[in-house]
């Protein structure tokens, strides 16, 4: 069966520090991968998605970036965090091009102080 | 106007009640419809998905899609306190990699 792992689960970072959140999917190949952010009361905001290695589409311009160095690995990064980057970050995947069966990881809580 | 609209609630019901959660959407191209359950501080969990119009049942949960009125519903029978969570609806069109999510409805089932 397929599983998705996301880490770290919780982190507190100072303003201006770098960020790296990592996500891996097991049990499937060539998945579509997604990074979402969920702010309190604001729903899910799609940040990046990837349909293959090295292929990244950005939905929201900001100081975050994403990379997909391997087929089942997706990384969310920032060189310098802002207070506004605080939130709940979710990695997700689907094997279906219609996006109708998208599965989420457990999420990473980021607090920028 | 957001493509998928969902009342944020909270919706508070007594244990054992039938719960009706609803969403409306505006994009006629949507063909796939999903419901997710999200517990506090956890990632959303896919509960059900349906294709086009009709009903789909899984245990105490029934998903219903009415494409003519662009209305999506999730019914929960015999609701339990463990059903207390935020429920997100989502929709996707064929060939799109990206589903559109509602903002979620908070459900509280009290004993």
Predicted local confidence at residue B1, as pLDDT:
62
User: What's chain B's average pLDDT?
Assistant: 93
Banded pLDDT at B2 (limits 50, 70, 90): confident
Mutation target to probe the B interface, by most B beta carbons within 10 A, among A39, A49, A102 is A102
pLDDT at A61 over 70: no
Neighboring chain B residues of A106 at a CB cutoff of 8 Å: 42-43
For B43, the closest of A43, A97, A106 (CB atoms) is: A106
Q: Is the pLDDT of residue A68 over 90?
A: yes
pLDDT at A56 (0 to 100): 93
Among candidates B8, B98, B102 on the partner chain, residue whose Cβ is nearest the Cβ of A99: B98
Structure token digits, residue A59: 């939905």
pLDDT at A95: 82
Give the burial class of A113: count Cβ atoms within 10 A of its Cβ; 0-12 exposed, 13-18 middle, 19 or more buried: exposed
Residue B55 has pLDDT above 80, yes or no: yes
Where would I find the beta strands (DSSP E) of chain B?
4-6, 11-14, 19-25, 30-38, 45-51, 54-58, 61-66, 71-76, 85-93, 100-101, 105-110
Residue A42 has what pLDDT?
A: 74
HSE (CB half, 13 Å, CA atoms) of A50? 26
| Residue A41 predicted with pLDDT over 80 | no
Q: Please give the pLDDT value at position A59.
A: 85
Tokens coding B98: 């990206």
What tens digit of pLDDT does each residue of B37-49 get?
999 999 999 999 8
Taking a contact as any Cβ pair under 8 Å apart, which residues of chain B between 12 and 51 contact chain A? 31-32, 34, 36, 41-46, 49, 51
Mutate to test the interface with A, among B43, B63, B88 (most CBs of A within 10 A): B43
Model confidence at A4: pLDDT above 90? yes
Contact A23, A50 (CB under 8 A): no
């Amino acid at each position: 069966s397929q599983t998705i792992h996301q880490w770290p689960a919780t982190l507190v970072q100072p303003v201006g520090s770098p960020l790296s959140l990592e996500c891996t999917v097991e049990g499937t190949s060539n998945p579509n991968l997604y990074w979402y952010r969920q702010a309190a009361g604001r729903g899910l905001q799609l940040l990046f998605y990837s349909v293959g290695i090295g292929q990244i589409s950005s939905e929201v311009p900001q100081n975050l970036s994403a990379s997909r160095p391997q087929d089942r690995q997706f990384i969310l990064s920032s060189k310098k965090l802002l207070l506004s980057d605080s939130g709940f970050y979710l990695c997700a995947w689907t094997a279906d091009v219609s996006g109708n069966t998208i599965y989420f990881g457990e999420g990473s809580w980021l607090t920028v102080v | 106007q957001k493509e998928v609209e969902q009342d944020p609630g909270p919706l508070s019901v007594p244990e054992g009640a039938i719960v009706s959660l609803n969403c409306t959407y505006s994009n006629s191209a949507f063909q796939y419809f999903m419901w997710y359950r999200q517990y506090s501080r956890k990632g959303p969990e896919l509960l059900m998905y349906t294709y086009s119009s009709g009903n789909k049942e899984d245990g105490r949960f029934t998903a219903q899609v009415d494409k003519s009125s662009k209305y999506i519903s999730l019914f929960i029978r015999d609701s339990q306190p463990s059903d207390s969570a935020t429920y997100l609806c989502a929709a996707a069109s064929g060939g799109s990699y990206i589903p559109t999510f509602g903002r979620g409805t908070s459900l509280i089932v009290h004993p």
